Amino acid sequence: MKAAGTKLRTLTTLFCVLTILVGGAVLTWFQVLAEELEQTSAVAQKTIQKIDTLLDSSRQVANNAHLLLSQPCTAQTRTELERLVVSVPHIRMINLYKNNVLFCSSFDDTSAINRNYAAHTKQELTLIEDKNISPGDTVIVLQTAFPEGMITASFSSQWLIEVLELLSDQRPLTLHIGDKLIQQKAKSTAQDKARHIVEPSQKYPYSVDYPESKAVPLSRYLQQGWLSLLLTLCLALMVGVVLWRHIFHRPSLYENLERAINEGEIVPWYQPVIRSDTGKFYGVEVLARWITPSGEIISPDSFIPLAEESGLIVPLTRKLMALAGDELPALFTTRPQPFHVSFNFTASHIQTPNFIEECRAFLKRFPENSIRLTAEITEREPFEKVNELKETLIFLECHGVTLALDDFGTGYSNLNLLTGLPVGLIKIDKLFVNGISSVKESTKLIDCVIDMAKSLGMKIIVEGVETEYQVAYLTHKQVDYFQGYYFSKPLPVSELAAMVKYTYRIPQLEEISHA
């Protein structure tokens, strides 16, 4: 099931990333296409301006030759026409007509002119093939009408081809004059079959068009769209990371625990410690409870081992100390004797550089001498750097911190540690208490532990007492303190206040035996 969930998460993330990449690539394509069409349109307009300029100068030549329409075609007239041709670089020939009949020209062979230019009189602007004067050349003929007749000025289409080549570096431009056209050299491609966008001249009867094809050369696409593609890639990667880590990501137990600590979901609960001689409230052990946003209470057995393995036990304990320092002072200000408050600390936590300051900071939250802070050293990890640990524990003891060995006999402790460390309190684990019954052989193991602790002059807290017989027997063995469900389960601070002044009746073994 977990593998299937991971696979679905992976596929979903990849789908979203690929969707963004494809979408970005398509949008970039249309962006480059729109920019290319816009640039080509601007080039077409500029081309029209250039061609109009050529035609304007041709028309100006016709206007300059206007007076010659009223004169006979003499040598002087032809000389003047030749001068006008030379005055404008692109003009190759000027012809004078009356009643659509050629009567004078800057070129000598009028019969050749008539054979080549027969169609020019039909429209203002004509594109003709020159077969006699300049074979193979295409000629543009501009007609200008006057009351006295008309004048034509012609020039080679090579001028216009050069304009098209010079201005257009993207889509090929085509010049249309009537039903004839002029194209750029080596620009005829498959795009020519696509629909064309037509840009007409506003002054002369011709137009420039270019293909509207959606095709864009890959080189131009990459050159003009690289920034958009890069941003798309960055966006896709960011979305992929967000989806993977925060939306589709299923947090690990470690991540959930770390988040719960940081967001204050793990809170202190307090289990009362009861004096065996009086049944009065002696203090509390601070325990951790994980309360989820839904109100579910998670047992410490589900997360404390993970916290110890991962190293999160240190920040978790610090969080508990801070919260307990906020909650407890109001409950114990009127007690005549110091109140016992204990925390579980790992050896690695105790050996952190700031541990002593953490203990001092906690004690400062309470009125002076109102509590007795007890550091319970858990045996669930081996003791390393024993000499350094011993020095720290001695320093703590000198500053009013009681030292207890938690879960004694179930972990890594041994007699050398017990006698070498300044431990004043032993907590006997529930594992030893569970076996206590009226059967004589059932108490041998716990009897040995109790006798050993007494021989070393240590106080004893027995954890996990749940039955009347256990309490009675342990009272008979003169242990010092009880902790367990027989007296109270761990409580939130709101329920703890009622327990502080409560006195329990401690059953005696003789009473139970007689019963």
Q: In the chain, what are the helix, strand and coil shares in percent, each to the nearest 5? A: 45, 20, 30
pLDDT of residue 379: 61
3-state secondary structure 351-386: CCCCHHHHHHHHHCCCCCCCEEEEEEECCCCCCCCH
Point out the least confidently predicted range of 181-190, 204-213, 328-337, 368-377: 181-190
Mean pLDDT, residues 34-53 taken together: 87
Give the pLDDT confidence of 495-515 residue by residue, as tens digits.
Answer: 988 888 888 998 888 777 655
- Domains of the chain, with CATH numbers? 2-211 (3.30.450), 266-514 (3.20.20.450)
Taking alpha carbons only, the member of 391, 372, 271, 261 closest to residue 315 is 261
Give the pLDDT confidence of 240-275 residue by residue, as tens digits.
Answer: 787 766 665 566 778 888 989 999 999 999 999 999
pLDDT of residue 384: 61
Give the pLDDT confidence of 356-398 residue by residue, as tens digits.
Answer: 899 999 999 988 888 899 999 876 555 666 677 778 888 888 8
Mean pLDDT, residues 108-127 taken together: 74
Rounded Cα–Cα distance for residues 311 and 402 (Å)? 24
Question: Where is 199: in which H helix or E strand?
Answer: strand 196-200
Residue 203: CB atoms within 10 A of its CB come to 13
* Residue 26, pLDDT above cutoff 80: yes
Give the pLDDT confidence of 123-176 residue by residue, as tens digits.
Answer: 889 888 877 677 777 888 899 999 998 999 988 887 777 777 766 667 788 888
Q: Which amino acid is at 25?
A: A
Torsional sign, CA 219, 221, 223, 227: negative
* Residue 190, pLDDT above cutoff 60: no
pLDDT of residue 333: 65
What does pLDDT average to over the chain?
A: 83
Comparison of pLDDT for 121 and 473, the residue scoring more: 473
Point out the least confidently predicted range of 160-174, 217-231, 471-485: 160-174
492: left (phi > 0), else alpha (psi -120 to 50), else beta?
beta
Torsional sign, CA 497, 498, 501, 506: negative
Q: Which amino acid is at 128?
A: I
Residue 22: CB atoms within 10 A of its CB come to 12
